Amino acid sequence: MKYLISVLILIIISSCGTGSDGDIYITGYNAGVAMYWKNGIQTNLDNGGKNADAEAIYIDSNNNVYVAGSCVGEAGSSVPCYWKNGTRTLLDQLYGWVNGISLIGNDLYLSGRITVDVPYGGGTLSTSKAGSWKNTTLTVLNGSTTIDVGWANSLFVSEGSVYIAGCNEETQVYWKDGTANTLPVHGELKSIYIKDGVFYASGDSIDGLNFFAVYYKNGDMTKLSTPNTASLSIANSIFVDSNNDIYIAGYYKIAEAKFACYWKNGQLIDLPDGMTTHSNSEANQVIVKNGNVYVVGDYYNLTTSKNIAAYWKNGEKTDLTFVESEYARAISIFIK
């Protein structure tokens, strides 16, 4: 009987940790400390100081944990870096951060945003640029000697090719293996997904002074629906499941409040934050595993005046940080 009880307790503990969908890894930050959560257990990353974040994560076949983000550089500002199993590698002392990470074979690929000095008017001008790294070698995607302003938002690997979503000179663009593909739309691409050779992307476009969420399937752009009173909407990430259903995470804004949501095949689905009085919430990434929809993001708790990192599974919210949080966000998710 004691043996049976022990076995049952072990089963309960195990099921609370991993779950049927696998281990859940989520990246983010709290009060300037980069971190990730594995099945809800927080791991702080060596930052070099309180001015860091963790924006993307990848787990390889050997369960090595790669996290991309930023840490504190020599000048005390945020610089691009990544961690492998908690060990930090600085990519540069340029101001910026990394927001995409993946592997092809033994090579590590990363994307992000950096600031470089470019020639201008007989001197130099500090300019935001889209950057990519193969291992630790930097490539400036939108010209290292031009004043074009741009950045990269995310990275996706498919059949040995590296796709990076971003913008250049306020125009949507993506790079495939370093070659720019510009879309004739003002705004930026936030996320790319390739399935069965079909190109999907999400982002936002500018309609006058306001942004509205859009997605692409191959070259066709679709504007995503929002309430009539919404003044703007943002589509942060895109995912396509085994049934070819299209999921997009983001938010829309009414008056001064942001509302976390996702769209499934264009249909808007709100994500509840559990607050009696709503303030702000955002959804940053969505993935689907075994039919379960996972969305990571954050919301503002008016009672405690804290920004809380959280995730939703099929619409049910789980907090990752609590009342001791200063300002916390959950940015990306990986399930293995």
CATH number at residue 180: 2.120.10
Q: What is the rounded distance in angstroms from the CA atom of residue 153 to the CA atom of residue 254?
A: 25
Residue 13 lies in a domain: no
In which domain, by residue range, is 111 found?
21-335
Residue 196 is assigned to a structural domain of this protein:
yes
Element (H, E) at 220: strand 220-223
Average pLDDT of the chain is 90
pTM assigned to the model:
0.92
pLDDT band for 19, please (50, 70, 90 cuts): low
Is residue 121 included in any domain, yes or no?
A: yes
Strand ranges of the sheet holding 137-140, from the earlier edge strand across to the other edge: 96-104, 107-120, 123-134, 137-140
Give the CA dihedral 147, 157, 62, 7, nearest 10 degrees. 110
Does residue 165 sit within a domain?
Answer: yes
Least confident of 70-74, 263-267, 331-335: 70-74
pLDDT at 276: 65
In a domain, 91, yes or no: yes
Task: Report which of residues 116 and 238 the model is more confident about.
Answer: 238
Q: What is the pLDDT of residue 246?
A: 98
pLDDT band at 224 (very low <50, low <70, confident <90, very high): very high
Whether 150 maps to a domain, the answer reads yes
Establish if 6 belongs to a structural domain.
no
pLDDT digits (tens, 9 = 90+) for 44-92: 998 766 788 999 999 999 999 999 999 988 888 889 999 999 999 999 8
Distance set, CA 31 to CA 21, 28, 317 (Å): 30, 10, 21
pLDDT beyond 70 at 323: no
**Is residue 15's pLDDT more than 50?**
no
pLDDT, average across residues 296-307: 90
Stated as kind and residue range, the H or E segment containing 131 is strand 123-134
The domain tally of the chain equals: 1
CA dist., res. 236 & res. 78, Å (int): 22
Lowest mean pLDDT, pick from 18-22, 25-29, 46-50, 129-133:
46-50
171 in a structural domain: yes
Helix H or strand E segment including 35: strand 33-38
